[in-house]
Amino acid sequence: AAAGTAAAGTATDLTAVAELEGYGPIDAHTARRLAALAPSWHRLFTDPVTGEALGVGRTAYRPPQALRRYLNHRDKTCRFPGCTR
């Protein structure tokens, strides 16, 4: 399981600082690395204006192993904007 929750800014905001739950702000490179290593993701619903947490999704999405292998083979590298992995 991931050490916390990494939440970065939008894909177009490459200067955004992420926040690691229980730790504080982290740089974008570290946030991308943690996100790539996370075994699953949990949805957190927030108000788009205030940022207030509205609820937590009851399910987590974990891509099936076959899909992960396919995407790794197809893409070879990370496709997230600004990522150099």
Whether 28 shows a pLDDT value over 80: the answer reads yes
The CB density around residue 53, as the number of other CB atoms within 10 Å, is 10
What pLDDT, on a 0 to 100 scale, did the predictor assign at position 60? 64
The three-state secondary structure class of 7 is strand
Percentage of the chain lying above the pLDDT 90 cut: 0
What pLDDT, on a 0 to 100 scale, did the predictor assign at position 15? 56
Whether 11 contacts 80, CB under 8 Å = yes
Domain boundaries along the sequence of the chain: 6-75
Whether 11 shows a pLDDT value over 60: the answer reads no
What's the per-residue H, E or C state across 9-41?
Answer: CCCCCCCCCEEECCCEEECHHHHHHHHHHCCCE
